[in-house]
Structure 1
């Protein structure tokens, strides 16, 4: 498919080199005209900039080292055609992405994702503008924080399913977690139509999610400068998964975006649709008008509900299981609090949360200790700017180093230690300690609108698991403890390498509670 021949490839490479050289000259000229220096950063080669310095894994740690080396909370990197601005402190991220959000709220072109793969309709990757605003409004209107009945009932239902799966097949806990989160999100989005084809939709959504994760790596953004090379070079940058034709990408997108939407429409016609985002959004449309554009918006929003939450929540809960396996004392403290407040005769409810400060602190520490998104999704600056005496060129890709912010030892002493107590004072949550949620869900106008859903889902799952199960280090057939390595895989979504843990009911009433046995 990509055997294009030497003359074709050579022509395109010459074309690309010419464009990059022009961009390089224009960038030098704009910096000279600005009168301000660029932020500090590693030395740059002519034309190539820092192309050969860019890290391929655990980028956040490398960026943080450079920030320390150059004693600056904002650093500049350049690659052919693109300037990267790394924000290594909360102050810099807040000053630019929050306080100057009017010019820092757009996104890169994401040529591979949007042009090659056909995902330009996905909200997180859309440029800031009218199309993005319409979809953001639709999402916020249905999943407003005050409208929690729409998602909490689904979260309770799917948490109950998870507990039963952990009871009957604990070794596949990670698969159960992913299916619980994904199934719950699909149910919120499509209702009972998703339940009927749940396994197929989950598998499809997981495939799409993995493609998106691969497609948003820094290497693919290099192609934004020369989009004509995207289809040729994207398979080399992100692997064999991208060796698909236009027709294959279109079919994947249609199966993910269009088919479940049509299923809901058919069930509504038959009077069989259950409450869901899609059903409610369709109910609000005028009957007599042409609603093609509104249908497109609904499909777009529905597609992002799953993608936006499944990978991040799954990774965070994977970290929760690791922390409970490694730190049994922390687990015991949370369970003592649950037994004291909830007891062992019922499962936790959302009403219990205000009376469970240690559990709340534990969840905050899970989010902080191993941030699921060590680097924030990239923003794009729309016009030249100056910050702290440094010139930031228009069209710079601006990335917040979330990992560095959440490992700042001034805010979180001894940040590498898993310590829920850092969020407590006199037995209550200490509001003077920054909540990691203020960082992990993004900044400014591009902050995640589903933060409250992520929080309530994680709360009810973690509270219910700790009420009914003990998570421990397993032993092999020879009685040797199988300690997890605690290592993580580098990626857009940060999660532990697979590990085994022992999951067993922690008291005599646990199994009856899980099975709903009143006797």
Structure 2
């Protein structure tokens, strides 16, 4: 019998040929008239596809920055340019001063500017101070009751704060179902990353592990957005819903009011769900991971926790716990928080920006690329927070955890929460959560290494996964805790 349909192999071959032709056309169309930023040697059609790092990308780009004596590095893959900014000055010049050219999400930007940036301003987030203090102290009690599951207690802290802020939902116990939802989403974002120029290709064509991982775990991101928002919508119909001051309820009230009046909506229900979900996952991820890094370094550096304890005793005494009014006076605690941010940036390559127009910086071209449905070659720009935090021109012995460096005049790190119009809108809320947890733990706990069965201290070890954000995994029991002051 004659087969009238092309075989799978023939279909794959035709798709491969079409892809090659499209990439060749894109390469011809995007020939630069000015020099591009430097980078490693490229191959015809493939560009830098075979040398673009799949592991520790931020560190590799930082290494290339030194090798090519340039704070800007350029690579190309599948017709798309990627530009990596490896110094704070360059990132400010390009992403802050020219931010309008490096933000390609006008609809969500409108939502951010009109609502999120106002709701999460440094002034407005003060309304959540009492919540953050309450949750920090509850976390200490949970850790003391179950010291072996201290990481879970820190996860609960992070989830409890952002869930209350985003949806008005309380999380009181370490085994709450919302914690597992957040864990799955953090695992998904921390272990995979989707190259945007190949996201529509089938797995049989693109065998990139991170792409397959992202597709397999997309359900986790969807669940994190869907479940709490559905609960918020259900709660909205209760008589006392007006008492809920969370982001989702505020937006739902505004949406329903305009719907009742027949007025045009500024944003859809999907926009509201996306905004609340973004706050949820970003806040839960960064707060938990930052607190874990704090515990790790206190275990490794008992002299630092001793100095922190001395400052706390001198400033606030031993008859109460720290609150936000103490922050200006607790200088060393502030230095510890800033050193946590610098020592291990949680988003090493930051948030990707896309170029809307060609840009020229110091005689080098940052091309805009072009947009397509199957393949987009719009240039992606990253601010390498890892490179900035470990810049030897700025920081002495940058790989050492040393809060004293700031007393010596070294600057606080920049870029941990992004640059330009894609700076994290929840940065003030997240920073407050981290600060109160660091101050409270330093005030009442002493950290020590776990002991083995033969009485020897166990050296803590952690590893970081390869996603867009660090996802921390303890490979051995890391810490033990003793109470130094009463709660």
TM-score band, normalised by shorter chain: 0.7 to 0.9
The answer for the alignment partner of 1:368 in structure 2 is: 342
Alignment equivalent of 2:419, drawn from 434, 437, 443: 443
Distance 1:234 1:154 in 2: 46
Q: Distance in 1 between matches of 2:262 and 2:412?
A: 45
- Given that 2:120 and 2:428 are in contact with CA atoms closer than 8 Å, whether structure 1 keeps it comes out as no
> 3-state SS of the aligned residue for 2:349?
coil
CA RMSD in angstroms comes to 2.8
Aligned equivalents of 1:250, 1:457: Cα separation in 2: 23
Out of 138-147 and 257-266, give the one that drifted further. Answer: 257-266
**Does the aligned pair in 2 maintain the 1:369–1:417 contact within 8 Å?**
yes
SS at match of 1:439: coil
**How big is the shift at 1:103?**
0.8
Secondary structure, aligned partner of 1:434 = coil
Q: What displacement does 1:383 show?
A: 1.2
Q: Quick check: 366-375 or 296-305, which moved more?
A: 296-305
Aligned partner of 2:38 in structure 1 is 40
**Alignment match, 1:92:** 90
Structure 2 vs 1, CA of residues 91 and 61 (structure 1 numbering), >3 Å: closer, same or farther? same
TM-score (norm 1): 0.83
In the aligned structure 2, how far is the partner of 1:196 from the partner of 1:272?
Answer: 26
Note the C-alpha offset of 1:364: 0.6
Q: Secondary structure at the match of 1:491?
A: coil
Q: Structure 1: any 5+ residue segments left out of the alignment?
A: 107-126, 514-519
Please state how far the C-alpha of 1:249 moved relative to its aligned partner.
8.3
Aligned to 1:408: 391
Could you list the per-position Cα deviations for residues 492-512 of structure 1 after superposition, in whole angstroms to 9, with x for gaps in the alignment? 2225440423433343x42xx
Q: Which moved more, 1:321-330 or 1:393-402?
A: 393-402
From 339, 350, 353, the equivalent of 2:327 is: 353
Distance in 1 between residues matched to 2:148 and 2:224, nearest whole Å? 33
How is 1:454-465 mapped onto 2 (pairs within 5 angstroms)? Answer: 454-465=430-441
Q: Which residue of 2 aligns with 1:278?
A: 248
Please report how far the alpha carbon of residue 95 of structure 1 lies from its aligned counterpart in structure 2 after TM superposition. 1.1
Question: Is contact 2:192-2:210 (8 Å) kept?
Answer: no
Q: What is the alpha-carbon distance in structure 2 between the residues aligned to residue 281 and residue 327 of structure 1?
A: 45
Q: How far is the alpha carbon of 1:358 from its aligned partner?
A: 0.7
1:415-436 CA-partner distances (Å, limit 9, x unpaired): 11111111125xxxx5xx3221
1:264 to 218, 235, 248: 235
Tell me the alpha carbon deviations over residues 452-505 of structure 1, each in whole angstroms, 9 at most, x when there is no partner. Answer: 111110111111111111011111121111011354443322254404234333
SS at match of 2:447: strand
The CA deviation at 1:264 is 3.0
Q: What residue is the counterpart of 2:429 in the other structure? A: 453
Does the 8 Å CA contact 1:183/1:198 hold for their aligned counterparts? no
Once the two structures are superposed, residues 356-400 of structure 1 have per-residue CA deviations (whole angstroms, 9 ceiling, x without a partner) of 101111111111011111111111111112211112211311111
The 2-side partners of 1:203 and 1:234 are apart by 29
Question: Which residue number corresponds to residue 118 of structure 1?
Answer: none
Q: Which of 68, 71, 75 is the matching residue for 1:70?
A: 68
Partner of residue 99, structure 2: 101
Partner of 1:23 in structure 2? 26
Counterparts of 1:50-449 in structure 2, within 5 Å, are 50-106=48-104, 127=105, 129-192=106-169, 199-217=176-194, 220-223=195-198, 227-229=200-202, 233=206, 236-239=209-212, 242-243=215-216, 252=223, 255-256=226-227, 258-267=229-238, 269=239, 271=241, 274-284=244-254, 286=257, 288-290=260-262, 293=267, 295-394=269-368, 395-424=378-407, 433-436=410-413, 438-449=414-425
Contact 1:192 1:273 in 2 (8 A): no
Say if 1:72 and 1:251 are closer, same or farther in 2 by CA, change over 3 A.
closer
The TM-score, its normalising length taken from structure 2, stands at 0.88
**TM superposition shift of 1:278:** 2.2
Residue 351 of structure 2 contacts residue 382 of structure 2 at CA under 8 Å; is this kept in 1?
A: yes
Aligned position for 1:111: none
Q: Deviations over 1:94-146 (max 9, x none)?
A: 1111111121223xxxxxxxxxxxxxxxxxxxx2x134312442212322221
- 1:217-249 per-residue CA deviation (whole Å, 9 max, x = no partner) reads 5xx23415xx3547974785434562489xx68
Deviation at 1:261, TM superposition (A): 2.8
Partner of 1:117: none
Cα separation, partners in 2 of 1:249 and 1:143, compared to 1, 3 Å? closer
Q: Give the match's secondary structure for 1:86.
A: strand
Equivalenced residues, count: 467
The match for 1:120 is none
